[in-house]
């Protein structure tokens, strides 16, 4: 796979200030030769950014700062903030732009326009879209004052995008017409053509996302044709042809869409633009599927995912827009095509080969989701093969791995047991399933709701598990390892109910964000525990009085070091975690998983242990991974699939073999009892971690006080289940 030299996708999401229309005024005046060399460097940075090559742009900026000590340069700082944002390093971008803001009182209108545009881009990534739109509008105003029409148009387009992302469509037609009129006065050239393409994208979104009349596609078509007439650049011509093909795809005009998409492929191949190649192969896959040419669709998707595999590191990991719009659908739609084909095939080697392809695509998608959540392509250094390398054969013979797949018109369940894969289909679409899951979670976590959860628990069982019952029973399956997706991450499948009993009563259950992200199975090690917890109310969080007994009980079972209340300090905790002598880290404290991993934390007495700090501490252990990470009082918000992804990925990101954590906080008395029983069962060499958790949960289920699933169900064993 060749490495892409261009990545124009950021252009199609949010404009940066690459290409500043000759803006070179500075608040300081270096000598003439130095100034010329700095300007040449800025020009190169702008060109690299226009191609989406932010890493190369960062290297050039670093060279400028080193060679010319230009760290106080406003323009260098603005560019640096924009490049860092383009790389997904939002906190650094914000800090860099804050430094520029310190000089804002002496910024010229052109510099202020550029600064505000980049600040708006960073603000978009925080989710403050209204604030971002205001920054973009202010940027456009200053750009007009400085007679910088291209920059003003870019800022105006970004403001319109921010409005659309807020679902604010007031005055959309008037604003589009005003932008169109502005662009018609700006002449020709590559940068103007880019603006027309972006304007066309907004017009298409009006129809696809906001149900505007189909005639609005005419606005988009006119914009794409304008772009084609303004430049001979094959990159721009490729985007124009491809997006025009997408318009025809929207209308079901297969022949015209196919011709234009192939034209776009030709342009992309001409310049080696892999970012376009994958888009147009993906588009071909959709077109062929719509025409029921499933083999051709499969081949196109295979090419698209192969190219995308080499491009993912160039995407803005952690971006609010990029992954969900431009990465995840490729893999999920490919799986849809494969599953559609496999459903019509008789049992045999060919069907098994196709189902393995589905499994591999799902694993690739799951890994990409975790990387995107943690905004890093290096969350897992050595992902395992999907054959569960290192797992004892006797355990795997009674273990099944479940991949539920939510599609627009159905639920597919892929089940792997031994060397066999089986497919089960339920005619329930994604939206209906998600709505039921949301209701189930809300009823499940409230013990006062009595059995209000039960109807949803049984319906979900019928959709997800009932079709596979015969297959699982015939193979003597005792352990289910679930690789959940979407809304399923927010609920414990142990609480599904078959009408007679909970799923927990039938199976040992574990979960993992992806099998290939599960650490190699090693000999279980509970030789020395690091135990930390809070009983006191600190930093606005409630007290946890039963934690004292929890710490005492666990410490009595295993060799351990304990840190309670005032002794549970951030720095000492990080230091102790980095020591390889502790094989288990047990935190009896509040923890929260946010949709933004940077806001997820484990509460210490004096501060908050972030996931990044946790990872950095555990990395220092070298080749001695943490065997088990226990978080006995953490929580994620109901309905927040992305936050639940963070919980699912905590074992992966921390480098621990396994994690025991909860989806929501419960009575700390119930927690203390469950944890004590878990460790008690874990002492027996014949029990796996997942089985130890199950027995502890069954004990609470069998008690009068804690039998409601709100008390025992939220606990998940994540990662290695042995």
- Tokens representing 713 are 């169900």
H helices of 291-392, in order, are 294-311, 322-326, 328-342, 349-373
The edge-to-edge listing of strands for the beta sheet with 608-610 is 608-610, 601-603, 591-593, 634-636
Q: How far is residue 212's CA from residue 665's CA, in Å, rounded to a whole number?
A: 44
State pLDDT tens for residues 662-673.
999 888 899 999
E runs forming strands in 160-236: none
Task: Name the band, by pLDDT with cuts 50, 70 and 90, for residue 7.
Answer: very low
User: Phi-psi bin for 318: left (phi > 0), alpha (psi -120 to 50), beta?
Assistant: left
Closest CA relative to residue 194, chosen from 221, 230, 161: 230
State pLDDT tens for residues 208-239.
988 889 888 998 999 999 999 999 999 999 99
Report the run of H or E that residue 206 belongs to, with start and end.
helix 190-208
Q: How far is residue 16's CA from residue 114's CA, in Å, rounded to a whole number?
A: 8
346 has a pLDDT exceeding 60: yes
Which of the pair, 681 or 63, is modelled with greater confidence? 681
State pLDDT tens for residues 610-634.
998 999 999 899 888 899 999 988 8
- Tokens representing 360 are 């591999």
The domains found in the chain, sorted by start residue, are 1-168 (1.25.40.10), 232-373 (1.25.40.10), 393-517 (3.30.420), 529-719 (3.40.50.1460)
Arithmetic mean of pLDDT, 397-422: 96
Identify whether the C-beta of residue 637 lies closer than 8 Å to the C-beta of residue 643: yes
Q: How far is residue 722's CA from residue 713's CA, in Å, rounded to a whole number?
A: 20
- Tokens representing 465 are 């598990």
Q: What is the CA radius of gyration of the chain?
A: 27
- Tokens representing 524 are 């279980």
526 has a pLDDT exceeding 80: no
Q: DSSP assignment, residue 444?
A: H
Task: Name the band, by pLDDT with cuts 50, 70 and 90, for residue 100.
Answer: confident
Arithmetic mean of pLDDT, 88-94: 85
Report the run of H or E that residue 453 belongs to, with start and end.
none
Identify whether the C-beta of residue 360 lies closer than 8 Å to the C-beta of residue 373: no
- Residue 604 sits at φ, ψ, to 5 deg, of -105, 175
- Tokens representing 261 are 């998409």
Which pTM does this prediction carry?
Answer: 0.89
93 has a pLDDT exceeding 60: yes
403 has a pLDDT exceeding 50: yes
Arithmetic mean of pLDDT, 468-483: 97
Arithmetic mean of pLDDT, 89-93: 86
- pLDDT for position 452: 96
Arithmetic mean of pLDDT, 686-711: 95
Q: How far is residue 674's CA from residue 716's CA, in Å, rounded to a whole number?
A: 12
CA distances from 211 to 205, 207, 208, 467, 555 (A): 9, 5, 6, 37, 60
- pLDDT for position 380: 56
Distance of CA 488 to the CA centre of its chain: 15
- Residue 631 sits at φ, ψ, to 5 deg, of -120, 100
Q: How far is residue 200's CA from residue 217's CA, in Å, rounded to a whole number?
A: 9
- pLDDT for position 2: 32
Lowest mean pLDDT among 268-272, 515-519, 575-579: 515-519
387 has a pLDDT exceeding 70: no
Residue with tokens 């199950």: 694
- Report the relative pairing of strands 479-482 and 399-406 from DSSP bridges: parallel
Arithmetic mean of pLDDT, 325-333: 92
Arithmetic mean of pLDDT, 502-519: 94
Closest CA relative to residue 516, chosen from 591, 416, 406, 643: 416
142 has a pLDDT exceeding 80: yes
Which of the pair, 60 or 265, is modelled with greater confidence? 265
339 has a pLDDT exceeding 80: yes
- pLDDT for position 287: 98
- pLDDT for position 18: 54
- pLDDT for position 397: 82
Q: How far is residue 372's CA from residue 327's CA, in Å, rounded to a whole number?
A: 10
CA distances from 657 to 372, 469, 489 (A): 21, 30, 19
State pLDDT tens for residues 289-305.
999 999 999 999 999 99
H helices of 409-511, in order, are 430-444, 454-464, 469-474
8 has a pLDDT exceeding 60: no
Closest CA relative to residue 411, chosen from 436, 430, 435, 439: 430
Task: Tell me what percent of the residues of the chain surpass a pLDDT of 70.
Answer: 89
Task: Name the band, by pLDDT with cuts 50, 70 and 90, for residue 392.
Answer: very low
Q: Rounded to the nearest 10 degrees, how much is the dihedral formed by the CA atoms of 125, 128, 131, 134?
A: 60
Q: Per residue in 513-537, is it b (16+ CB within 10 Å) or e — as a string?
A: bbbbbbbebeebebeebbbbbbbee
Which of the pair, 536 or 397, is modelled with greater confidence? 536
- Tokens representing 194 are 């880019």
Those residues with Cβ within 8 angstroms of residue 713's Cβ, 6 or more apart along the chain or in another chain: 444, 492, 494, 495, 504, 697
- Report the relative pairing of strands 479-482 and 628-631 from DSSP bridges: unpaired
466 has a pLDDT exceeding 80: yes
Q: How far is residue 305's CA from residue 312's CA, in Å, rounded to a whole number?
A: 10
- Tokens representing 2 are 């060749």
Arithmetic mean of pLDDT, 681-697: 92
State pLDDT tens for residues 109-133.
999 999 999 999 999 988 889 999 9
Give me the chain's average pLDDT, please.
88
Which of the pair, 22 or 246, is modelled with greater confidence? 246
Q: How far is residue 568's CA from residue 564's CA, in Å, rounded to a whole number?
A: 5
390 has a pLDDT exceeding 60: no
Q: Rounded to the nearest 10 degrees, how much is the dihedral formed by the CA atoms of 320, 322, 323, 328?
A: 130
Which of the pair, 684 or 352, is modelled with greater confidence? 352
Q: How far is residue 251's CA from residue 217's CA, in Å, rounded to a whole number?
A: 9
9 has a pLDDT exceeding 50: no
């Amino acid at each position: 796979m060749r490495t892409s030299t261009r990545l124009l996708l950021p252009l199609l999401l949010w404009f940066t200030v690459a290409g500043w229309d000759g803006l070179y005024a500075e608040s300081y005046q270096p000598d003439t030769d130095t100034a010329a060399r700095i300007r040449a460097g800025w020009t190169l940075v702008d060109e690299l950014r226009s191609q989406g090559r932010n890493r190369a742009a960062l290297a050039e900026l670093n060279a400028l700062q080193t060679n010319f000590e230009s760290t106080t340069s406003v323009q260098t700082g603005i560019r640096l903030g924009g490049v860092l944002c383009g790389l997904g390093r939002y906190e650094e971008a914000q800090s860099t732009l804050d430094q520029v803001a310190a000089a804002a009182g002496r910024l010229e209108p052109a510099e202020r326009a550029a600064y505000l545009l980049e600040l708006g881009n960073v603000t978009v990534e925080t989710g403050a879209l209204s604030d971002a739109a205001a920054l973009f509008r202010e940027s456009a105003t200053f750009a007009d004052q400085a007679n910088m029409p291209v920059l003003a148009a870019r800022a105006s387009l970004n403001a319109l995008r921010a409005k659309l992302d807020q679902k604010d469509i007031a005055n959309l037609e008037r604003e589009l017409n005003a932008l169109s009129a502005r662009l018609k006065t700006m002449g020709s050239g590559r940068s103007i053509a880019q603006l027309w393409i972006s304007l066309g994208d907004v017009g298409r979104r009006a129809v696809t996302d906001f149900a505007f009349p189909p005639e609005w596609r005419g606005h988009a078509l006119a914009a794409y044709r304008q772009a084609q007439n303004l430049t001979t650049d094959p990159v721009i011509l490729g985007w124009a042809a491809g997006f025009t093909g997408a318009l025809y795809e929207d209308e079901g005009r297969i022949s015209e869409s196919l011709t234009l998409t192939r034209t776009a492929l030709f342009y992309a191949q001409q310049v080696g633009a892999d970012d376009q190649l994958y888009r147009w192969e993906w588009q071909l896959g959709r077109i062929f599927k719509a025409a029921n040419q499933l083999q051709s669709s499969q081949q196109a998707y295979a090419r698209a995912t192969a190219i995308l595999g080499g491009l993912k590191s160039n995407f803005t990991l952690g971006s609010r827009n990029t992954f969900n719009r431009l990465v995840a659908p490729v893999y999920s739609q490919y799986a849809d095509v494969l599953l559609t084909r496999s459903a019509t095939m008789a049992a045999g080697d060919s069907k098994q080969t196709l189902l393995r392809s589905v499994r591999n695509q799902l694993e690739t998608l799951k890994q990409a989701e975790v990387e995107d959540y943690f905004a890093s392509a290096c969350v897992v250094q050595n992902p395992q093969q999907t054959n569960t390398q290192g797992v004892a054969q006797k355990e795997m013979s009674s273990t099944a791995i479940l991949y539920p797949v939510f599609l627009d018109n159905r639920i597919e369940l892929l089940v792997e047991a031994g060397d066999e894969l089986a497919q089960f289909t339920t005619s329930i679409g994604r939206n209906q399933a998600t709505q039921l899951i949301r209701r189930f979670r809300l009823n499940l976590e409230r013990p006062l709701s009595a059995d209000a959860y039960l109807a949803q628990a049984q319906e979900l069982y019928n959709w997800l598990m009932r079709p596979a019952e015969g297959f699982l029973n015939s193979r003597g399956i005792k352990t289910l390892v679930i690789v959940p997706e979407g809304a399923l991450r927010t609920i414990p499948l142990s609480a599904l109910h078959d009408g007679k009993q909970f799923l927990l009563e039938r199976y040992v259950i574990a979960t993992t964000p992806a099998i290939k992200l599960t650490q190699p199975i090693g000999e279980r090690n509970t030789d020395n525990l690091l135990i930390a917890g809070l009983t006191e109310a600190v930093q606005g969080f409630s007290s946890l009085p039963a934690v004292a007994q929890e710490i005492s009980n666990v410490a009595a079972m295993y060799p351990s070091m304990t840190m309670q209340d005032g002794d549970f300090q951030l720095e000492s905790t990080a230091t102790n975690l980095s020591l390889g002598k502790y094989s288990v880290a047990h935190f009896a404290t509040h923890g929260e998983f946010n949709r933004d991993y940077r806001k997820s934390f484990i509460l210490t007495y004096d501060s908050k242990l972030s996931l990044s700090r946790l990872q950095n501490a555990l990395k220092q252990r070298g080749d001695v991974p943490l065997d088990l990470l226990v978080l006995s009082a953490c929580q994620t918000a109901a309905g927040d699939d992305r936050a639940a992804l963070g919980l699912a990925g905590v074992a992966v990101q921390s480098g621990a073999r396994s994690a025991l954590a909860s989806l929501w906080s419960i009575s700390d008395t119930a927690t203390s009892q469950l944890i004590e029983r878990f460790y008690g069962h874990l002492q027996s060499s014949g029990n796996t971690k997942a089985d130890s958790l199950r027995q502890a949960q069954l004990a609470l289920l069998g008690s009068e006080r804690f039998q409601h699933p709100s008390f025992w169900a939220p606990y998940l064993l994540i990662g290695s289940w042995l």
